[in-house]
Amino acid sequence: MSGSTLLLADTMMSKTVEDDRPRLSSYSNDTKRRDYEWQIVWRNVFAFIYLHAGCLYGFYLIFTGNVRIWTPIFALVFTILSAMGVTAGAHRLWAHRAYKARWPLRLILALAQTMAFQNHIYEWVRDHRVHHKFTETDADPHNAKRGFFFSHIGWLMVRKHKDVFEKGASIDMSDLEKDPIVMLQKKTYLVVMPILCFIIPACLPVYLWGEDPWTSWYVASIWRYTMSLNFTWLVNSAAHIYGNRPYDKYIGATDNKTVGILAMGEGWHNYHHVFPWDYKAAELGNYSTNLSTAVIDIAAKYGWAYDLKTVSEDMIRRRVNRTGDGSHPTSQQASHS
């Protein structure tokens, strides 16, 4: 990673430009209400209230020093591991086929994705493919035109819009149906997920360094899980609302450096929506804001990942000049201003 690469990334984020794409508020009440009745799923509402209250208690335990030092460190390591299952696994490998992976890597990524409890790979990928195909319409499960709260967490607390089912039926999932690791994970998810996401992370600190069991539960399980959910959800909310649109100013997705770091390289979302097949999910291979790319590159070095797809510089430049908002350092608008 060169200094100029870092500079380029920083320049891309530091420029603020006129946002002339259609405003999110153009999602009128008519559209919002059409054929849609709110059907709140109270089980999920209460689960998310518990998780967020527990997460605040986890913060309290950490900041008042009522925790052994290794427990938050362990939680952080576990967060990164499980995040790789989502970013390098569910997202870049299974949803977008941006590279290919040998079975040992697919198995590790599937286990890591199970630790993250963001639904099994099959369901995660189906919702994500629908999100890309019908972005910011009623068929998008976390349609950002329905506001920050809905696209962040609200969509998980209500029944889906009927367009999600109807248009979602057009999504081809046959590639996942042919992957025995994905199908085994789907079949065993309800048993394996609670063990990997909650029980093992809560037990290890107790057995390894004598952490108090409740402290371990609230810090290593609840705090860790709730924080990683929120970092992930920022990609659907913040990275569809705040930030620059260097590659396409006519779409909602934005490049957002903060989300890029918190979501392990998934915040370069304007780029990602324009070039979803790039295994980096970003233009630059900048590891400091894209840990997931580093993991795929290391796996590729050992032959576990291969056929990594990317986008030519020329194609990017042409797109930047045709539809970018002028915030890209190489854009013609930027160089003329």
Contact stretch for ligand ST9 (CB under 6 A) within 52-60, 262-270, 298-306, 316-324: 262-270
Nearest residue to 244 (alpha-carbon basis) of 87, 11, 1: 11
Q: Two tokens at 56?
A: 């605040």
As a whole number of angstroms, the distance between CA 112 and CA 290 comes to 18
CB 195 within 8 A of CB 184: no
- Interface map 38-57 toward ligand ST9 (x if CB under 6 A): ---x--x-------------
Question: Closest separation between CB of residue 163 and Zn ion, Å?
Answer: 17
CB 21 within 8 A of CB 301: no
Question: Closest separation between CB of residue 124 and Zn ion, Å?
Answer: 11
Closer residue to Zn ion, CB minimum distance, 194 or 307: 307
Backbone dihedral angles phi then psi of residue 180, each to the nearest 5 degrees:
-60, -30
Interface with ligand ST9 includes 136 (CB under 6 A)? Answer: no
CB 87 within 8 A of CB 99: no
Nearest residue to 325 (alpha-carbon basis) of 11, 8, 21: 21
DSSP-assigned letters across all residues of 32-57: HHTT----B-HHHHHHHHHHHHHHHH
Select from 138, 248, 255, 266 the one that contacts ligand ST9 (CB under 6 A): 266
Interface with ligand ST9 includes 236 (CB under 6 A)? Answer: yes
Interface with ligand ST9 includes 140 (CB under 6 A)? Answer: no
Select from 232, 237, 244, 254 the one that contacts ligand ST9 (CB under 6 A): 232
Interface with ligand ST9 includes 125 (CB under 6 A)? Answer: no
Closer residue to ligand ST9, CB minimum distance, 228 or 331: 228
Sign of the Cα pseudo-torsion (262, 161, 110, 282, in order): negative
Q: Two tokens at 239?
A: 């990275």
Interface with ligand ST9 includes 290 (CB under 6 A)? Answer: no
Interface with ligand ST9 includes 159 (CB under 6 A)? Answer: yes
Interface with ligand ST9 includes 86 (CB under 6 A)? Answer: yes
Question: Closest separation between CB of residue 317 and ligand ST9, Å?
Answer: 25
Closer residue to ligand ST9, CB minimum distance, 33 or 159: 159
DSSP-assigned letters across all residues of 178-239: T-HHHHHHHHHHHHHHHIIIIIHHHHHHHHHH---HHHHIIIIIIIHHHHHHHHHHHHHTGG
Interface with ligand ST9 includes 123 (CB under 6 A)? Answer: yes
- Interface map 224-263 toward Zn ion (x if CB under 5 A): -----------------------------x----------
Interface with ligand ST9 includes 118 (CB under 6 A)? Answer: yes
Task: Show the CA angle centred on residue 146, arms to residues 324 and 39, nearest 5°.
Answer: 150
The residue ranges that bind Zn ion (CB under 5 A) are: 253
The residue ranges that bind ligand ST9 (CB under 6 A) are: 41, 44, 79, 83, 86-87, 91, 117-119, 123, 126-128, 130, 141, 156, 159-160, 164-165, 168-169, 171, 228-229, 231-232, 235-236, 263-264, 266
